[in-house]
Amino acid sequence: MATEFKNEEELVKKFLNETTLFLGPEPDFMQDHTLASITEREKVAIRNADPSVLSVTRSKMQAGTNESFEMLEQIGAAPGAKWGDLISCLFTAKGDLSIVSSGGVLLFAACVQYGVKYIVKHWLNDPDVGVKPGDIFYYNDARYGGVHNTDQVLIMPYFHEGELIAWISTIVHEGENGAVEPGGMPSAAEQVYDQGLAISPIKIGENYQFYKDIVTFFQNSVREPKLMVVDLKAKLYAALRIEQRVAEAIEEYGVDPVIAVLRKTLDDTVDEVKRRVSQWPDGTVRMMGVADSTLRENCLIKVNLELKKKGDVLTLDFRGSSPEFANRPNNAVTSALKGTLGQLFLSYVWPDLPRNQAVLAPMEVIVDEKSVFNPSFEVPNSQSMMTMWPAFSVTQAALAKFLYNSPEKSTNVIAPWYNMITTCIYGGVTQHGETVGNLCADLNGMSGGARDGMDGEHSIAPLFAPMAEQGEQEQIEEEVPIIQLSRRIMKDNQGFGQYRGGQGYQMFLTQQDSDFFGFMTTTIGSKYPSAHGIFGGYGAPTYPLCKIKGVNVFDVLKNEPEKMAFTTEEIMNNQPLEDATYSTHHTGLQFELAEEGEIYIITQGAGGGYGDVLDRDPNMVMKDVEEDLISQTTANDIYKVFYDPETLVLDWETTEVTRKKEREARKKRGVPFNEFINNWVTEKPAEHLPFYGSWSDRSVVYAGSTEKIMEEGKLKSVMMPNPKDVQISKLEKEIQSLKK
């Protein structure tokens, strides 16, 4: 009977397996960031390996991915490809990310392990799909492992004498993908179906050739069919370059060293991460951050982190963070969150480690189901950065506390990097008659956080790619009808501190020579700072979007040039362009058509400050004054530094006296810790705040008001009303009251 029952169970299992409705990404599969179990083949290869041969084999494979990256950067057409938002990489046969190009966005590659593993799981032995040499796979749906659908991934298997030994992938942030708004990152997406192309990992070619019908379908689905075809080919040929180099490595050193390198690099990384973590003092750091909008409405979305270190285990617990948003795209799939954390560790904590996914493998990451970091399958994610980057900053600030006390450091202790993609996403018809939808490389101008002993650097690089860059405006103007009238570093835009964060630049954007062109912006941080300071340093300031409409600035420049101003404070405070309307907004601008000569102003943010402002060397303050980075008000009020405004000669005496007074005043303002807690901490968020996430107790999660409470571990989706409906309703009420 028992045997029969067992058979029945198997029969049911077989039946269910054969009648699967949809091979979507399975939740357990997508949550697992550990390495695949080592295979016998890998064990044998490692056992037989000569360390010196492994070393040169690794060097060859690394050079191959670097060459592929350089090539892809050159021949890709997407702005993302041209300015550094791409990567080339190699995976083990089971799909673990092992070798990554030195340049590019590691986060992309880290997410693709899930895409590769999906192919291994579902298609490798599928009689209809299968995997053979020369096959080309492709996907962009972030739910299968990705940040958002604008990042498109090409994957190819590598076979040696019939044996699958590796996977190759090339990835580019493509921009346009046919979403509800141009540019591939719609903030207006209310459902996954508004996010444009949603390709699950599928085969799109064989024998190194694309299926033309599939390519045509892709082109048919997007606003830039030219970009689609150019970059498909670019990614394919860049992948083939890796394939060629792996083949040469096998010819030169044998297949075993190649297999051994792919696996052993991962195992060695795991061991080293454990060793390094074990050096940190045991303890727990709690940190929170807030995303201040969904890009559609102002609200407070909490990112909650408890970072615990015990022995060689680091646990990153994000429970207590906001519930998911059913109809807003600021949800980050867990793979993207983990990829971000991997990027953080490999760029800001251990830049000397090999770049692969194993850095995170020995760590534990805990997220609540149906939270913004583990959203349901049906919720959109095209603006996942709006919660993912705050998670990055929160973790960065928390890690600084461990690193400060670590006896061994691989790089400097650093305050959080500025974390928002401040740029214009554009769409429309160019001066050359081409339909486009993409973004400007200014997103790469994030400012660096202050370091132990050093200020942060201005607009240095995006937090996700060290050498990604901002490009040349003359070349951008030539391709698209965007004219930037000002790109100056913004005065006083600083994360103050003993060492200050780097400062960002303001952008005056306008369009010229197009009848149909518009902008959108997708950043948070216009109400609540998005990057923290550490050890007493200030966080980034907040930044509004400014609009100057109803005017053609080109007429002003030509006919009344003396009226033009090139800084935000001058033009917005003095309002020198007559007849124009001046307004400020949060920085979640939905796609909006711009008339020629209307001005949109955004600002790249500042990196966080480090240490107490009163400890800042007055000479460093004076250098900032001389460079017009800060005003006299900031020097006097924040840093308590005084000088002769005519000669810029530092007044040491007044400075010392004032600083001393301020220290005394601080002591007087100070209260015992418990007293502070009693006065400061409230049981719940304030009634008027649209707050999402836990407050003082992690197990209680608020969903927009103190009345909407969810239990930790039992979160539900939050549905937001359409802001236009809210506006209409408000106006209707006003009309009703006026009628009365």
Site residues (CB under 8 A) for other proteins, limited to 379-438: 411-412, 414, 417, 432-434
Toward other proteins, which CB reaches closer, 227 or 710?
Answer: 227
CB atoms within 10 A of CB 527: 17
Q: What is the 3-state secondary structure (H, E, C) of 556-625?
A: HHHHCHHHCCCCHHHHHHHCCCCCCEEEEECCEEEEEECCCCCEEEEECCCCCCECCHHHCCHHHHHHHH
Binders of other proteins in range 537-556 (CB under 8 A): 554
Binding residue (CB under 8 A) for other proteins from 445, 529, 539, 605: 445
Taking contact as CB under 8 A, which single stretch among the options 21-29, 127-135, 505-513, 716-724 is the one that binds other proteins? 505-513
* CB 154 within 8 Å of CB 388: no
Please tell me whether residue 268 binds other proteins under the rule CB under 8 A: yes
Binding residue (CB under 8 A) for other proteins from 351, 550, 645, 713: 351
Q: How far is the CB of 535 from other proteins (least distance, A)?
A: 17
Q: How far is the CB of 580 from other proteins (least distance, A)?
A: 17
Toward other proteins, which CB reaches closer, 127 or 561?
Answer: 561
The runs of H, that is alpha helices, within 210-333 are 212-220, 225-253, 255-279
Map residue 112 onto helix, strand or coil.
helix
Encoded tokens for 677: 């807690």
The amino acid occupying position 10 is E
Taking contact as CB under 8 A, which single stretch among the options 62-70, 135-143, 146-154, 728-736 is the one that binds other proteins? 62-70
Q: Bridge-partner residues for 582, per DSSP?
A: 548
- Using CA atoms of 721, 722, 725, 731 in order, give the dihedral in degrees to the nearest 10: 90
Binders of other proteins in range 471-500 (CB under 8 A): 471-475, 477-479, 483-489
Q: Is 167 left (phi over 0), alpha (psi -120 to 50) or beta?
A: beta
Alpha-carbon distance of 168 to 175, in angstroms, equals: 22
The runs of H, that is alpha helices, within 254-303 are 255-279
Distances (CA, A) of 258 to 251, 253, 453: 10, 8, 42
Binding residue (CB under 8 A) for other proteins from 557, 593, 620, 689: 557
Please tell me whether residue 562 binds other proteins under the rule CB under 8 A: yes
Q: How far is the CB of 467 from other proteins (least distance, A)?
A: 5
Binding residue (CB under 8 A) for other proteins from 26, 282, 364, 627: 627
Binders of other proteins in range 698-717 (CB under 8 A): none
Encoded tokens for 14: 């077989």
Toward other proteins, which CB reaches closer, 100 or 189?
Answer: 100
Binders of other proteins in range 84-143 (CB under 8 A): 102-103
Judged by CB under 8 A, how many residues of this single chain contact other proteins? Answer: 100
Please tell me whether residue 297 binds other proteins under the rule CB under 8 A: no
Please tell me whether residue 81 binds other proteins under the rule CB under 8 A: yes
Please tell me whether residue 468 binds other proteins under the rule CB under 8 A: yes
Alpha-carbon distance of 27 to 25, in angstroms, equals: 6
Please tell me whether residue 511 binds other proteins under the rule CB under 8 A: no
* CB 731 within 8 Å of CB 740: no
Please tell me whether residue 616 binds other proteins under the rule CB under 8 A: no
| Binding-site string for other proteins from residue 629 to residue 658, where x marks contact by CB under 8 A and - marks none | x-----------------------------
* CB 183 within 8 Å of CB 425: yes
Q: How far is the CB of 25 from other proteins (least distance, A)?
A: 31
Please tell me whether residue 352 binds other proteins under the rule CB under 8 A: yes
**Residue indicated by tokens 């060793």:** 275
Binders of other proteins in range 219-248 (CB under 8 A): 226-227, 229-230, 233-234, 236-237, 240-241, 245
Toward other proteins, which CB reaches closer, 264 or 328?
Answer: 264
Binders of other proteins in range 248-267 (CB under 8 A): 252, 264-265
* CB 419 within 8 Å of CB 446: yes
Q: How far is the CB of 79 from other proteins (least distance, A)?
A: 8
